[in-house]
Amino acid sequence: MEMSVIGTNAGKVWTYLNQKQSFTDILEIKFNLNFSNTELYLALGWLAREGKIIITEQENTLVVKLK
C-alpha cells in the first residue's frame, strides 16, 4: 500500500474522530469508513506515531479518540 493512501486514510479517521469527540470503538470506525483491517490499523498507526490519538481498552474493546 502506498504511503499516500495510508496518509489519506489517516485523514479520514482523524475527520471521523473529530466529529465524534469521544472514545470510539475501532470497529465502528472500520465499518463506517468501509476500511479493511489493514487500512484501519495502518491509519491508526500513522495517527499514533504523530501523537494525535489515544488508544485504550474499555471492556475488552479497543477504543480511540483524538488527543
| Structural domains for the chain | 3-66 (1.10.10.10)
Residue 64 neighbours by CB distance under 10 Å: 21
**R_g of the chain computed on alpha carbons:** 11
pLDDT in tens, 8-49: 999 999 999 999 989 999 999 999 999 999 999 999 999 999
Integer Cα distance of 43 and 13 in angstroms: 7
Residue 5 confidence (pLDDT): 94
C-beta separation of 16 from 30 below 8 A? no
Place of cell 490519538: 53
Q: How confident is the model at residue 52 (pLDDT cuts 50, 70, 90)?
A: very high
Alpha helices in 1-67 (DSSP H): 3-20, 26-33, 37-49
Residue 1, pLDDT score: 82
